[in-house]
């Protein structure tokens, strides 16, 4: 099978596993995952998706995420949108629905929207939007960042006299042109992606991003800052200013589409949108950032006057927020003035510690969340770049979208800055990227002080993130994914052959054959044979005479090993792994001996109903390869401890 045919097959099977093309609202991708917004979660067959050759795993969060790995994910996602006749991120149209089908689809959409509304918060939505804007840019960040790091090392070595400028400057210039294709126009790329996230026209979003570059402004007659009267400077307002402006663009476009006649919409809407938002960006957003910057300069000067470790901590901790607002540009004249007057800038090495804090935080995330494949892949790609002093991949792709790690990374930067401030006299003879390349520019042989500060920033970012900055939801997601992927919570063990074992009813209710379960994984007996009870009581008892072998972290499933070697899983409810254990109270612990009269758990059936989860208590034999036969029964009312099935070993 050719690669093209393989990609087509994977794309088609992903649509099938996601409930069909009509059930997929939109498709995007990141470094390793095809990300889909689905219309009805109940139509998604995750096990079917996991079984697709080439699929490495499935995560069902706010988006359905199918992991196919870097290098292939972009091809699969593109093939999927090509099959649907749309572009990445665009809504896939649904075929005409009638009657009951239309009502059910509308109900499913309303239910999903209400569910998302209940769980979402403004901060979570903001961080999710930031992630969706910058994650697609990670490959470009990494590639351009590595080139930028090489350029930084070579430039600094030329400046310090370790390399001959006549020999190396031409190569440095060529490499700089290549890497500037990303970093010089980052505002434009951000505008395009932000428009896709917020629902605006992508190319118009790119124009709004380009506005802050002030292309074409006459330096002799600059645009004035309305707040201070000073001249505006390119990139004032920074990336966050672009994101805010594009968000305003999306709101304006949506309103214009409603009021402007279709016949002239393509002319009127983009013209008015670009004009109004562009003016707001130039005369409000950028000047506001300039106003903030002027006051920030006063604060920086005060901190510098205080001096010592305190100054180093404050400056090292606050530099990353300044970068995000585009305010770091105001420090350039300060660096130049320091170098002119004293031969070096004491400020640059301190500010460079912010990148060190990011590196330490990323390493801590990698250690604690190493089973999160996508995050690990991002960190592996962004770390070398971050060590070389290019911080955007780590900021926008890793720490900022996760929230707390960004704060702990800033603290790490502050610790590194405090060390350099305490040592004192650590300056750079020229302005350049931070990270390791800056070592070559440290004046007066105090490179050792810079290295100590960098190591302190690494360590500070790592420690604070490791203990205080790991998002709890990411840890829970890993536990849930591991639990869902496990085919059996009990270890394999030899059976006692030529014997019989019994399975007992675990609660009061209607006992049914496993094939009647609403969960396709269980009803198709993918994990094994058994039975389930539609529970009328929340008291749950052991299904066998044996031992508690394992308890899932989310409490929704318990593994047992019978005295005769049968491995049995008790699964409480359907799709209840997402409830993070809230409706369940476990009454036993691993290693406990149990009988069918042992109360092993209590389930809040009301909570299950409110969460729209079926109250099926499923009992499944998971080592079927060693089982000869399992008896059958007709649906009936049962009570706890009642024998239901006979097993021949």
Catalytic residues: 30
Place of tokens 């405090």: 418
- At residue 599, the 3 state secondary structure works out as strand
- At residue 95, the 3 state secondary structure works out as coil
Are the C-beta atoms of 212 and 274 separated by less than 8 Å? no
Comparing CA positions, the residue from 8, 137, 147 lying closest to residue 81 is 8
Comparing CA positions, the residue from 536, 527, 556 lying closest to residue 623 is 527
Burial of 641 (0-12, 13-18, 19+ CB in 10 A): middle
State the CB neighbour count (10 A cutoff) for residue 170.
10
Cα–Cα distance measured from residue 191 to residue 620, given in angstroms and rounded to the nearest whole number: 52
Helix H segments across 32-98? 46-50, 73-84
For residues 52, 53, 54 and 55, what is the CA-based torsion angle, rounded to 10 degrees?
30
Cα–Cα distance measured from residue 355 to residue 381, given in angstroms and rounded to the nearest whole number: 15
Which residues touch 408 (CB under 8 Å, ≥6 apart)? 357, 361, 364, 461, 464, 465, 468, 469
What H or E segment, with its residue span, contains residue 344?
none
Place of tokens 């006057």: 305
Which residues touch 440 (CB under 8 Å, ≥6 apart)? 153, 156, 157, 159, 160, 162
Burial of 435 (0-12, 13-18, 19+ CB in 10 A): buried
Cα–Cα distance measured from residue 596 to residue 539, given in angstroms and rounded to the nearest whole number: 12
Q: Counting every residue, how long is the chain?
A: 649
Query: With DSSP H G I counted as helix, E B as strand and the rest as coil, what are the percentages for the chain, rounded to 5?
Result: 55, 15, 30
Angle, in degrees to the nearest 10, between helices 308-325 and 286-306: 170
Which residues touch 32 (CB under 8 Å, ≥6 apart)? 56, 67, 68, 69, 70, 73, 373, 374, 377
Give the chain's end-to-end CA distance (angstroms, integer): 43
Residues in a beta bridge with 502: 646
- Could you tell me how far CA 248 lies from the centroid of its own chain? 24
What H or E segment, with its residue span, contains residue 65?
strand 64-67
259-264-270 Cα angle (round to 5): 80
Comparing CA positions, the residue from 368, 377, 461 lying closest to residue 411 is 461
């Amino acid at each position: 099978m050719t690669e093209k045919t393989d990609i087509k097959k994977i794309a088609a099977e992903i649509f099938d596993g996601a409930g069909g093309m009509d059930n997929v609202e939109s498709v995007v991708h990141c470094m390793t995952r095809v990300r889909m917004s689905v219309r009805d979660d109940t139509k998604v067959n995750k096990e079917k998706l996991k079984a697709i050759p080439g699929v490495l795993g499935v995560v069902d969060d706010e988006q359905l995420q199918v992991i196919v790995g870097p290098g292939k994910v972009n091809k699969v996602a593109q093939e999927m949108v090509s099959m649907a006749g749309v572009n990445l991120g665009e809504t896939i149209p649904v075929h005409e629905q009638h009657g009951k089908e239309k009502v059910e689809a509308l109900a499913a959409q309303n239910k999903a929207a209400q569910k998302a509304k209940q769980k979402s918060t403004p901060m979570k939505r903001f961080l999710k939007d930031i992630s969706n804007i910058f994650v697609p840019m990670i490959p470009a960040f990494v590639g351009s960042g590595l080139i930028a790091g090489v350029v930084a090392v070579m430039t600094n070595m030329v400046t310090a006299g370790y390399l001959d400028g006549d020999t190396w400057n031409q190569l440095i210039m060529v490499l700089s042109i290549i890497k500037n294709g990303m970093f010089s126009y980052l505002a434009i790329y951000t505008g395009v992606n932000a428009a896709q996230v917020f629902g605006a026209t992508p190319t118009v979003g790119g124009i709004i991003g380009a506005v802050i570059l002030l292309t074409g402004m006459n330096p002799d007659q600059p645009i004035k800052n309305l707040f201070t009267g000073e001249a505006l400077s390119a990139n004032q307002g920074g990336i966050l200013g672009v994101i805010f402006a594009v968000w305003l663009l999306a709101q304006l476009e949506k309103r214009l589409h409603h009021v402007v006649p279709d016949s002239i919409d393509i002319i009127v809407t983009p013209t008015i949108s670009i004009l109004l938002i562009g003016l707001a960006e130039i005369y409000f957003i950028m000047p506001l950032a300039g106003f903030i910057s002027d006051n920030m300069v006063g604060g920086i000067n005060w901190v510098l006057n205080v001096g010592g470790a305190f100054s180093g901590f404050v400056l090292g901790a606050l530099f990353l927020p300044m970068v995000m607002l585009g305010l770091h540009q105001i420090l350039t004249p300060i660096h130049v003035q320091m170098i002119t007057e004293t031969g070096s800038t004491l400020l640059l090495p301190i500010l460079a510690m912010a990148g060190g804090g990011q590196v330490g935080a990323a390493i801590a995330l990698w250690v604690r969340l190493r089973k999160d494949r996508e995050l690990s892949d991002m960190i592996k790609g962004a770390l070398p770049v971050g060590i070389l002093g290019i911080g955007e991949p780590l900021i926008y792709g890793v720490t900022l979208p996760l929230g707390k790690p960004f704060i702990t990374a800033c603290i790490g930067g502050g610790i590194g800055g405090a060390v350099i401030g305490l040592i004192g006299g650590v300056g750079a003879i020229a302005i350049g990227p931070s990270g390791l390349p800056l070592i070559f520019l440290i004046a007066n042989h105090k490179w050792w002080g810079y290295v100590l500060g960098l190591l302190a920033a690494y360590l500070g970012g790592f420690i604070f993130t490791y203990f205080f900055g790991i998002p709890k939801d990411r840890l829970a997601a890993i536990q849930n994914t591991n639990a869902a992927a496990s085919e059996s919570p009990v270890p394999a063990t030899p059976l006692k052959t030529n014997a019989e074992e019994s399975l007992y009813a675990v609660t009061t209710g209607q006992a049914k054959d496993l094939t009647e379960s609403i969960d396709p994984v269980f009803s198709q007996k993918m994990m094994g044979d058994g039975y389930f009870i539609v529970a009328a009581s929340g008291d749950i008892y052991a299904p066998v005479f044996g031992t508690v072998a394992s308890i899932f972290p989310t409490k929704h499933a318990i593994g047992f090993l019978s005295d005769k070697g049968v491995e049995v899983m008790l699964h409480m409810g359907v799709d209840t792994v997402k409830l993070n254990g809230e409706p369940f109270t476990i009454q036993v612990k691993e290693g406990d001996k149990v009988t069918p009269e042992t109360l092993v758990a209590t389930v809040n059936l009301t909570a299950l109903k409110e969460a729209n989860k079926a109250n099926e208590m499923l009992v499944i034999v998971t080592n079927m390869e060693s089982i000869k036969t399992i008896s059958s029964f007709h649906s009936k009312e049962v009570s706890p401890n009642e024998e239901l099935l006979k097993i021949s070993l």
